Amino acid sequence: MIARGRFVVDTHIHAQRHAFKFKERGIKPNFATLAEGMPEVEVYDNTPRLLYDMERYHVDLCVIQPAFGMTDELNGEIVKARPDKFVALCEGTDYQQRVRKGEIKWTTEGICEELDRLLATGLYVGIGEGLPRDRTRRKPHAWEERFDEICEIMKIARKYKVPVGYHTGALSGYGGARRELGLGLDSNEWGNPLLAHDIATEFPDVPIIMQHGGMQGWWSEKFMDDTFQVAAAHANVYLETGLYWGELYEKPLRDPNIGVEKLVFGTDWGASIPQQWVPGVRPGSYADQGRGQGLPAHQVDYFGWCLRQLARAANLYDLPQDDLNLILGGNAVRVFRLEDKVPLKRLFKQYMK
């Protein structure tokens, strides 16, 4: 069974695809060269495959975002071409690429000016994937310093009344993910979801989405309880739950300070994270890179697995359809202010008081 809703929004989509050209570059495809080659990789518009999957799985709208060499510019062109199907987040990718190439030095003022410029175009509905940061940095970033930088980024989000993404979770296959989490777990927000308490407290009027909800991949639930603690403590914090297997929905659904109103569906479609199958144990399947499998050359089917896991959770916990509709789309419409994208009013749960 696949979870179905009145209006389905996937809040975590990568509509661009990498062209590594391993043969042309004389590089053997493996996880080490993948992590090293990310910044220089070519990208292209992958919406034909995305639209195909959207039609098959009845996904109405996608929030697309950049990652790993993808560009805000191309995402903006995708939105302009199909505004009925796509909206986008921005991350200041052109500025970050110039920093990587050594053309300019990273400054808080510089990235904020770029985000301000992008949001002023009206093409973008938020900031993400994750909060922009200097990826050329190779030393731990003291939280006090990083927090001051994040506060300036949050001020831009407040100015345009848009949400921000706070990246959580990690994979065991990507070398890049291990490097990201290795830059001082106590000072790097990727490896410490609890640091979001400071941000949510300082900016209670800016919606914060805990991307991946602590579960980007693997079978470990290490980061999840921390994201639940943050979401339960702040009215402006939401959990992205698309990569959860069925039983993982139980804690947030049963928490009176989280519940269905703070869960948004987001799969990471477009990334190369296949599902691993381990029958007879819990979880029987989960998303992660398999280091011995090699790099996935196919378009991984996120919608099928993620929607099936959500349907399983709805059955396990006897979730009313109106509540399921909120997770699948209603909450995203509210958080990203997408009411003009919905064909009819009063499709989602609400009560007069």
| CATH for 157 | 3.20.20.140
Question: Considering the domain boundaries, does residue 52 fall inside one?
Answer: yes
Distances (CA, A) of 80 to 94, 234, 313, 338: 19, 34, 36, 16
**Nearest Cα to 195, choosing from 234, 157, 163?**
234
Question: Considering the domain boundaries, does residue 275 fall inside one?
Answer: yes
Name the burial class of residue 113, with classes exposed (0-12), middle (13-18) and buried (19+) by CB atoms within 10 angstroms of its CB: middle
Question: Considering the domain boundaries, does residue 350 fall inside one?
Answer: no
Each residue's pLDDT expressed in tens, for the chain with a length of 353 residues: 899 999 999 999 999 987 666 666 667 666 555 555 555 678 899 999 999 999 999 999 999 999 878 999 999 999 999 999 999 999 999 999 999 999 999 999 999 999 999 999 999 999 999 999 998 887 777 889 999 999 999 999 999 999 999 999 877 766 555 555 554 444 567 778 999 999 999 999 999 999 999 998 889 898 999 999 999 999 999 999 999 999 999 999 999 999 999 999 999 999 989 999 999 988 999 999 887 887 888 999 999 999 999 999 999 999 999 999 999 999 999 999 999 999 999 999 999 98
Angle at 302 between CA 298 and CA 306, to 5 degrees: 155
Which DSSP category does 188 fall into?
-
pLDDT of 242: 94
Cα separation, 64 vs 45, in Å, equals 12
Cα separation, 138 vs 183, in Å, equals 7
Question: Considering the domain boundaries, does residue 217 fall inside one?
Answer: yes
pLDDT of 186: 45
pLDDT of 289: 85
> What order do you get walking across the sheet with 263-264 strand by strand?
9-13, 61-64, 86-90, 124-127, 164-167, 208-211, 237-240, 263-264
153-179 exposure pattern, b = at least 16 Cβ within 10 A, e = fewer:
bbebbeebebbbbbbbbbbebbbbbee
pLDDT of 291: 77
pLDDT of 184: 46
- Containing structural domain, residue 140: 9-338
Question: Considering the domain boundaries, does residue 352 fall inside one?
Answer: no
The two structure tokens encoding residue 149: 């930088």
Question: Considering the domain boundaries, does residue 288 fall inside one?
Answer: yes
Q: Which DSSP helix (H) or strand (E) runs through 88?
A: strand 86-90
pLDDT of 141: 79
What total number of domains does the chain contain?
Answer: 1
Q: Which residues pair with 277 in a beta bridge?
A: 285
pLDDT of 28: 67
Task: Note the pTM of the prediction, 2 decimals.
Answer: 0.93
